[in-house]
Amino acid sequence: MAKKERQKRSARQARQREREEREAAQAVTAEKADKASKKGDAVAASGTAKKETKPAKAKKPGRIRSYFREVRSEMRRVVWPSRQETRDYSVAVILMLVVFGLAVWAVDTGFISLLIGFTGLRG
């Protein structure tokens, strides 16, 4: 039981350290942003700046471009069948088409002969 408690305690401590590291990183980022905004305010207040340069925005790819990029990525992950497997699957499909075609033909012929026998239309 003591081992379980130690593991829980060490897990809590690890989470606490991660939280502190994240907060420290956010604080550094906030400080940099404050310094940048103060620097920009000072330059704007002095009036000596020619033109403020805005940070370059990351251009988002369009929907179509990102769609095709994702399709390309997925197609690289596809495991394609070998030539032998493709041939085997093709033969199986053709045989099943023939079998089902014959079954439909037999059922159709049977219904027609039943209707002719029942109604006596051909004779």
Residue 77 in any domain: the answer is no
This prediction has a pTM of: 0.39
Domain around 23 = 8-45
Residue 2 in any domain: the answer is no
pLDDT in tens, 5-60: 888 888 888 888 988 888 888 888 888 887 877 776 555 555 554 555 666 666 66
Sequence-distant (6+) residues with CB within 8 A of 49 are 43
pLDDT in tens, 48-103: 545 556 666 666 668 888 999 999 999 999 999 999 999 999 999 999 999 999 99
Residue 15 in any domain: the answer is yes
Name the pLDDT band for 4 (thresholds 50, 70, 90): confident
Residue 63 in any domain: the answer is no
The alpha carbon dihedral of 69, 70, 75, 76 has a sign of positive
